[in-house]
């Protein structure tokens, strides 16, 4: 009986963590949201966004320097500390939507995906000739629940035609998710 209660508690906590209710309002959310401390040198920045702020935020735009990326993380990968720290029986990852949209000054990539809880998301980019590669990395110890996140990336590119490659790295394995030719205005 005790094990059943603990399993139920872990399940409820994972569900609350995935919806952001376990620890109150999301850190870095609200009108005075600031960039999080998850900013790498290769990236122009990252920002965690709460659901209520989605309609109020400024649109994501590419940074100025070609080949650099700015990204936002929504969902449980924005706050991996909210999950339970148990090893999963078999973490589930699935791609639910991936779109590449050209925009003045670059491209916007929107990727909605299901993944194991407790993972942190990061996006980096690499530009070689006319091939731009965005690598989404899910890192950390996966928990025994599944949740979803949306990664929005803005990659700066000069006007022209490019091959855009989107990769997902998890458990030190890289998977090519998408390749598309786009014309940047």
In this prediction, residue 63 carries a pLDDT of: 94
- Tell me whether residue 105 is in a domain: yes
In this prediction, residue 35 carries a pLDDT of: 33
Strands 69-75 and 94-103: unpaired
In this prediction, residue 57 carries a pLDDT of: 67
In this prediction, residue 80 carries a pLDDT of: 84
> Residue 105 sits in which domain range?
2-28+40-184
- Tell me whether residue 161 is in a domain: yes
- Tell me whether residue 128 is in a domain: yes
- Tell me whether residue 180 is in a domain: yes
Q: What are the distances in angstroms from CA 6 to CA 9, 16, 39, 118?
A: 5, 15, 37, 19
Distance, CA of 72 to CA of 26 (rounded, Å): 14
- Tell me whether residue 34 is in a domain: no
In this prediction, residue 94 carries a pLDDT of: 62
Mean pLDDT of each 10-residue bin along the chain, 185 residues long: 42 41 34 31 39 58 94 90 55 74 97 92 96 96 90 97 97 95 97
In this prediction, residue 95 carries a pLDDT of: 62
- Tell me whether residue 11 is in a domain: yes
- Tell me whether residue 95 is in a domain: yes
The total of structural domains in the chain comes to 1
SS3 label, residue 66: coil
| pLDDT mean across residues, the chain | 74
Q: Is the pTM of this model over 0.85?
A: no
The pair of structure tokens assigned to 82 is: 């909210």
- Tell me whether residue 174 is in a domain: yes
**Interior CA angle at 184 toward 182 and 185, to 5°?**
140
């Amino acid at each position: 009986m005790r094990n059943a209660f603990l399993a139920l508690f872990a399940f409820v906590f994972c569900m609350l963590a995935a919806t952001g209710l376990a620890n109150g309002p999301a850190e870095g959310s609200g009108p005075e949201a600031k960039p999080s401390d998850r900013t790498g040198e290769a990236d122009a920045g990252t920002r965690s966004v709460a659901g209520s702020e989605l309609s109020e935020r400024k649109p994501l735009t590419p940074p100025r320097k070609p080949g650099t990326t700015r990204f936002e993380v929504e969902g449980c990968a924005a706050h991996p500390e909210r999950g339970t720290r148990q090893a999963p029986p078999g973490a589930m990852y699935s791609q639910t939507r991936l779109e590449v949209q050209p925009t003045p000054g670059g491209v916007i990539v929107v990727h909605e995906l299901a993944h194991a809880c407790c993972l942190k998301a990061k996006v980096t980019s690499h530009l070689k000739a006319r091939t731009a590669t965005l690598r989404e990395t899910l890192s950390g110890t996966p928990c025994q629940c599944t949740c979803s996140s949306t990664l929005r990336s803005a990659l700066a590119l000069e006007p022209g035609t490019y091959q855009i490659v989107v990769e997902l790295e998890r458990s030190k394995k890289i998977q090519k998710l998408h390749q598309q030719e786009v014309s940047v205005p």
